[in-house]
Amino acid sequence: MALEENERIIIPDENGEEHLFEVLFTFDVDKTGHSYLAVVPAEQKEDEEVEVYAFRYEEEEKNEDDLSLFPIDSDDEWEMVEEVLHTLIDEENGE
Q: How many domains does the chain have?
A: 1
Residue 22: inside a domain: yes
pLDDT at 3 over 90: no
**Rounded to a whole number, what is the distance in angstroms from the first to the last CA of the chain?**
31
pLDDT at 73 over 90: no
Structural domain for 86, as ranges? 7-93
Mean pLDDT of 72-82: 87
31-62 burial, b at 16+ Cβ within 10 Å, e below that, comes to eeebbbbbbebeeeeeeeeeeebbbbbeeeee
Residue 2: inside a domain: no
Residue 1: inside a domain: no
pLDDT tens-digit map of 7-64: 899 998 889 999 999 998 888 888 778 899 989 998 876 666 778 889 999 887 766 6
Burial of 25 (0-12, 13-18, 19+ CB in 10 A): middle
pTM (2 decimals)? 0.76
